[in-house]
Every structure is written in structure tokens, then in C-alpha cells.
Structure 1
Amino acid sequence: MWIFGLFLLIPLVEIALFVTVGAWLTLWPTLAIVLFTGVLGAWLVRWQGLGVLREIQAAGPTADPLSPLAHGALILIGGFMLMLPGFFTDTLGFLLMVPAVRRGIIAYLGARIKLSNVRMAGFRTNPAPDWVDGDYKDVTPASERSSSDRIERPSKWTEQ
């Protein structure tokens, strides 16, 4: 139910801010700010996202990638919010671009999320001990084959 409230509340806040800022700055400066924050959001996602990627690569394969991946996800969400037209979403997007804010959100969510190991069942890495891996070659003479078995054009897949 609270998601429905957000879908209703956020556009109302954006409309109110557009009307207020548009009355204060007039139409064209307001539109210029909205376009500028969209372009800035795309640039910030690329710049900070590449920084997170470099951090993951520098840490090496043995390091825990959970925190950098969480930072990367919050950067993507922040960039998406910056690309949306509106002043409220731009403010939230800019806040998500600040590393200290992201660390705080990650710490808050990390205390409330419990991770557990998941074991995939039904897949074997090794075949069962009674399996036999082999190839075969059909040695039935052509005269004994039924008409449904005959291939009009021989294929390289059937020849050995």
C-alpha cells in the first residue's frame, strides 16, 4: 500500500515544485535546469560507476564485492532519478551520488537484510557412477533401413 502512496505522492510533489520554481524562474530557465540535471546524471553515473568498477578490479578476486556492488546499484538508482524530470527526484539523485550518503544507506539496509547460502539442488558436477559416455555409429545396411530412416542428402553430421 505504501508503494501506491509513493506513486501518488512523488508526482504531486514534482508538479508542485515545477509550478513553484517555474513561477520564480520562468519557463525556459526551469526547463534548462531539468535538461542539465538529466545530462549531469548520465555523466555522474558513468564517472562514479567506472570508479566503483575500478575499485572492484583493484580489490582482486578474493575480496568481498558486496559493498562495491551496493554502491554501484545506488549510483544507478541515483542516476536514474537525476534523469527523471523533476526537482524532488533530482535532489534524491544528487544525494545518492554522495559516497557518505550511500555508505549510510548501505549500513542501514545491511543491518536489516540477512544473507543466507543457497544450494542449488538437482545439478551434478560429475556424472553418476553408472553412466557411460560413448559415441555410436549406425552400421545398419542401407537396404535394411526403413524409408523414414533414409536421408535424402547426406549430412556431414551423420558421416564418420
Structure 2
Amino acid sequence: MRRRTPAVRALLFVLFIVVPLVEIYVLVQVGQVIGAGWTILLLVADALLGTWLMRREGARAWRTLREAVEQGRMPATELADGALILFGGALMLAPGFVTDVFGILLILPFTRPFFRRLLSAFVARRLVVNVTRPGTQGRGPESGPGPVVRGEVVDDD
């Protein structure tokens, strides 16, 4: 079993301890300023706005994804947009103003390109590509875990 790195532990700590505490603090502060009833009404209105926005942008992302596939293009941007909209919608479902702000930023079409670049950079850092140089025949530090066997795939059907 793999051990968690310190960065993963820190991220989990922030997600499960710091974020809820910040949300509670902000809710209490807003409630003291505008009252409990208005705070609850604002949270409900915020959730309704987020739901409407997520449906609208999700439908648009689905449409552009279908168009990219029909045109034979790799739908990388469209898939990233769909993931960001889905994640933003999940943040909108969590009660609280802080997560709602981040959720709306992920969903809005004019702020999404910034987060798309962050997502692309994250994926590129995590992606490991194993390339064998021509002529090394699998015998170099940049090659895979064994020799390269050249062959032909024969289908019995």
C-alpha cells in the first residue's frame, strides 16, 4: 500500500478541516450582519443561481463536446470544461459562501479558461510518458522495464 505524501496530507487537512471552519466563520459573520433569515435566503438563492448556471453551461459544454467528436477533433478543451463545470456544480451544492464563490468561478465561461490552464498544467505534471528512443531497443534509462519485442498482431476471427 502506498503512503500519502505530505502534500496530499496537507490538502486533505485543508479540505476537511480548514474549509468547513472558514465556511462556518463566514456564515456566522454574514448572519450577524444581515440576520439568520436573510442569510438562509441568500444561501438558497445562491444555490438556485448556481444550479441554473451549471445547467446552462453544462448544456453548452455538452453541445461543443458533441460537435468536436462529430468533426473528428480531440475534445480536450471540451472535456476540461465539462470537468470544471461538474466540479463547480458540486461546490455550489455545498452549503456556504466560500465554496459557492469558487464554484461560480469554475462555471462562468469567462473565468473558466484560467482554471482550464491550471487543470492542464496539473494533468501535464502528473502524466508520465515513457518514450523509447529509436535504436535503443529498450536498453536505456528512458525506456520501459524490459526489452522491446517487435511483432505482428494476428486476429483469429
Aligned position for 1:38: 47
TM-score, structure 1 length as denominator? 0.68
Q: CA deviation at 1:109?
A: 2.9
In the superposition, the TM-score normalised over structure 2's length comes to 0.69
Q: Percent identity?
A: 36
> Per the alignment, do residues 29 and 72 of structure 1 end up closer, same or farther by CA in structure 2, a change over 3 Å counting?
same
Q: Which has the higher helix share?
A: 2
State the distance in 1 between where 2:83 and 2:102 align: 14
| Residue equivalent to 2:85 | 75
Give the structure 1 partner of residue 15 of structure 2. 6
SS of alignment partner, residue 85 of structure 1: coil
How many corresponding residue pairs? 122
Shift of 1:37: 1.4
Please tell me whether residue 100 in structure 1 is matched to residue 100 in structure 2: no
CA 1:125–1:12: 2 relative to 1, 3 Å? farther
**Residues 125 and 110 of structure 1, relative CA distance in 2, 3 Å threshold:** farther
Shift of 1:61: 4.3
The equivalent of 2:98 in structure 1 is: 88
Q: 1:41–1:80: 8 Å Cα contact kept in structure 2?
A: no
Cα deviation per residue 1:43-86 (whole Å; 9 max; x = unaligned)?
21211110011112223241111110110111011111112110
- What's the counterpart of residue 127 of structure 1? 156
SS at match of 2:155: coil
Whose radius of gyration is greater, 1 or 2? Answer: 1
Check whether the contact 1:78–1:97 (CA below 8 A) recurs between aligned residues.
yes
Instruction: Indicate conservation of the 8 Å contact 1:39/1:83, yes or no.
Output: no
> Which stretch shows the higher mean deviation, 105-114 or 10-19?
105-114
5+ unaligned residues in a row in structure 1: which ranges?
A: 118-123, 129-160
Matches of 1:16 and 1:26, distance apart in 2: 14
Matched-pair contact (CA < 8 Å) for 1:37–1:83: no
Letter in 2 for 1:42: T
